[in-house]
Amino acid sequence: MEATAYARFQRYGTRKVAQVLKEIRGKSVLQAEALLPLIPRTCGGMIAKTVRSAAANLTMKARHAGRTLVPEQVFIKSCWAGKGPMGQMKRVMPAPMGRANTFRRKVCHVTVVVSDEAGR
């Protein structure tokens, strides 16, 4: 059985979030929750929240199916980060000679899929 959680329009760069997701991919949810506070990236809190949400979604799915779920048997099957829309958050940065340069803030979408199957 699988469950998915999404974190959309997060204010982090896709590449930096993907570095953290690479560290937790394939691990159990309990291992990932223990590992995420130790990773020195600010997006770790957001990823931990998304992993907890996916695990809670799986718990509710199992409960509706009449099954019991062992927390140690829940694994992160896959997780990835994709680019979000950059055109919406235009900002201004001071430039030489009193001018202003525009830049766009990065936004990403995070997806976490958890499973209780041993094959992962």
Residue 105 tokens, joined? 């803030």
- Positive/negative CA dihedral, 62, 45, 23, 15: positive
Q: Which residues of 56-68 are buried (b: 16+ CB within 10 A; e: fewer)?
A: ebbbeebeeeeee
pLDDT of residue 118: 58
pLDDT along the chain (120 residues), means of 10: 96 96 95 95 96 96 90 93 89 95 93 81
Residue 84 counted as domain residue: yes
Q: Round to whole Å and give the CA distance between 74 and 54.
A: 10
Number of domains in the chain: 1
pLDDT of residue 89: 84
CA neighbor of 9 nearest in space, from 65, 71, 89: 89
CATH number of residue 78's parent domain: 3.90.470.10
| Range of the structural domain that residue 80 is part of | 2-115
Tell me the whole-structure pTM to 2 decimals: 0.88
Residue 54 counted as domain residue: yes
Residue 34 counted as domain residue: yes
Residue 11 counted as domain residue: yes
Residue 120 counted as domain residue: no
pLDDT of residue 119: 52
